[in-house]
């Protein structure tokens, strides 16, 4: 993966994962290894009394703890203010890590980079990195929640750009394969990185441009094609590939209706599209009801104009999504 040196904005990594998955171990590695990076860390701990700051080893990095609530539901304003305060000391760090509580839905953190123009102009979301405990993740994923209560472990996997499959030393290979298979039914496109004691090359999770879909596709044109769909799980990935040109007006109408009606269940959406009348790829990505897009690289003369979309979410209807997307093609009868 190429390092996104061309973008002058500060890269931000969101580190999430269910309780006990190894986030503190990984954070300690990041803060203490001789990697030459200057990192500011924003910690979020659920509860009135903070303890994570006592667990994180002493380091020269900036650490800000937010212990007045879960970052995903009560303190987005605080997050924006802390990010703004950090940027006033821009010369003291090179990148930012936001560590969320194990009970957090990472979506609102990602949405911050969509909804706040000043934040989006000065910082870029580099990747959402989710740690999972190989020994216990299946139990968390299979936990039956009361009606209306979200399974946070499932959502953290669904939103991930990178999945760190930690504690692999505690399970045998058949169990590990079962975990991989289950993770793939939830998120078919995130890279899965097996580790023990959260030991890994930090270059696989920092400065990877994983949330920058245009950059990912320039490195891996097949990124959105390797998808799967399992009807026996509530959270799945649906990938669609269609040749031809997309009618922009039809696309906007369809996406507007789709995300308005079902956006709460569509965690992530991403795609690369061939818009009618444009010689450049259009790169699209969304988080729940919020979506954004921009021109990517020009289409090459020797490549077909093919549209690829991926939806990750709950209770997705593949046939319905395929019908809706197909109806956006230029020349298809309305």
CA distance 223 to 216: 7
Outline where DSSP puts E strands in the chain.
10-17, 39-44, 62-66, 95-99, 123-133, 162-166, 191-194, 235-243, 266-274, 280-287, 290-298, 306-314
Do 258 and 320 lie in a common domain? yes
Q: What is the pTM of this model?
A: 0.75
Pick the last residue of a domain from 166, 186, 211: 211
What 3-state DSSP class applies to 59? coil
What 3-state DSSP class applies to 275? strand
Q: What is the pLDDT of residue 44?
A: 61
Q: Name the pLDDT band for 320 (thresholds 50, 70, 90).
A: very high
For the chain, state the CA radius of gyration. Answer: 20
Higher per-residue confidence, 231 vs 185? 185
Do 138 and 224 lie in a common domain? no
CATH number assigned to the domain comprising residue 235: 3.30.1220.10
Q: Name the pLDDT band for 334 (thresholds 50, 70, 90).
A: low
pLDDT at 79 > cutoff 70: yes
Residues facing 285 on adjacent strands: 270, 292
Do 150 and 231 lie in a common domain? no
31 located within any domain: yes
Do 176 and 268 lie in a common domain? no
Higher per-residue confidence, 253 vs 65? 253
The DSSP secondary structure of 231-265, one letter per residue, reads TTSSEEEEEEEEES-B-HHHHHHHHHHHHHHHTTT
pLDDT at 14 > cutoff 70: yes
Do 247 and 154 lie in a common domain? no
pLDDT at 178 > cutoff 90: yes
Number of domains in the chain: 2
253 located within any domain: yes
The DSSP secondary structure of 103-137, one letter per residue, reads T--SHHHHHHHHH-HHHHHHEEEEEEEEEEETTTH
User: In sequence order, what are the residues at sequence separation of 6 or more whose Cβ sits closer than 8 angstroms to the Cβ of residue 55?
Assistant: 24
201: containing domain: 10-211
5 located within any domain: no
pLDDT at 286 > cutoff 60: yes
Condensed to tens digits (0 to 9), the pLDDT of residues 41-53 reads 887 643 332 333 3
Pick the last residue of a domain from 149, 179, 211: 211
pLDDT at 184 > cutoff 60: yes
Do 26 and 150 lie in a common domain? yes
Residues facing 282 on adjacent strands: 273, 295
Do 187 and 225 lie in a common domain? no
Q: What is the mean pLDDT of the chain?
A: 79
64 located within any domain: yes
Distances (CA, A) of 92 to 3, 47, 77, 87, 203: 21, 29, 23, 9, 21
Do 189 and 67 lie in a common domain? yes
Do 191 and 57 lie in a common domain? yes
Do 80 and 181 lie in a common domain? yes
Condensed to tens digits (0 to 9), the pLDDT of residues 122-166 reads 999 999 999 999 998 998 888 877 777 778 888 899 889 999 999
CA-nearest of 228, 26, 17 to 141 is: 17
CA distance 123 to 92: 15
256 located within any domain: yes
Q: What is the pLDDT of residue 55?
A: 34
Higher per-residue confidence, 89 vs 317? 317
Higher per-residue confidence, 2 vs 221? 221
Do 85 and 122 lie in a common domain? yes
Do 61 and 178 lie in a common domain? yes
pLDDT at 59 > cutoff 70: no
47 located within any domain: yes
Pick the last residue of a domain from 211, 235, 268: 211
Q: What is the pLDDT of residue 71?
A: 35
Q: What is the pLDDT of residue 130?
A: 95
pLDDT at 101 > cutoff 70: no
Condensed to tens digits (0 to 9), the pLDDT of residues 266-279 reads 888 888 999 999 99
Q: What is the pLDDT of residue 22?
A: 87
Q: What is the pLDDT of residue 279?
A: 94
């Amino acid at each position: 993966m190429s390092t996104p040196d061309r973008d002058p904005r500060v890269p931000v990594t969101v580190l999430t994962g269910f309780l006990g998955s190894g986030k503190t171990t990984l954070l300690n590695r990041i803060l203490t290894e001789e990697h030459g990076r200057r990192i500011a860390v924003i910690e979020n701990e659920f509860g009135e009394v903070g303890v994570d700051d006592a667990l994180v080893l002493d380091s020269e990095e900036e650490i800000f703890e937010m212990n007045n609530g879960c970052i995903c539901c009560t303190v987005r304003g605080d997050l924006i203010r802390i990010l703004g305060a950090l940027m006033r000391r821009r010369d003291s760090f090179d990148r930012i890590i936001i560590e969320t509580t194990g009970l957090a839905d990472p979506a609102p953190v990602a949405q911050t980079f969509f909804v706040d123009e000043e934040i989006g102009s000065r910082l870029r979301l580099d990747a959402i990195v989710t740690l999972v405990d190989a020994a216990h993740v299946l139990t968390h994923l299979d936990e039956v929640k009361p009606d209306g209560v979200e399974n946070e472990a499932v959502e953290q996997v669904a939103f991930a750009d990178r999945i760190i499959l930690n504690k692999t030393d505690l399970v045998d290979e058949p169990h590990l394969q079962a975990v991989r298979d289950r993770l793939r039914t939830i998120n078919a496109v995130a890279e899965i990185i097996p580790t023990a004691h959260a030991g890994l090359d930090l270059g696989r999770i920092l400065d990877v441009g994983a949330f920058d879909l245009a950059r990912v596709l320039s490195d891996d044109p097949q990124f959105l094609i390797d998808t799967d769909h399992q009807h026996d799980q509530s959270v799945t990935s649906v990938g669609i590939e269609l040749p031809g040109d997309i009618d922009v007006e039809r696309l906007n109408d369809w996406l507007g209706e789709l995300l308005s009606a079902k956006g709460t269940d569509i965690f992530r959406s991403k795609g690369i599209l061939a818009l009618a009348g444009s010689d450049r790829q259009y790169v699209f990505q969304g988080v729940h009801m919020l979506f954004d897009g921009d021109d990517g690289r020009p289409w090459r003369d020797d490549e077909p104009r093919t549209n690829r979309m991926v939806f990750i979410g709950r209770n997705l209807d593949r046939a319905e999504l395929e019908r809706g997307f197909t109806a956006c093609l230029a020349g298809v009868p309305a």
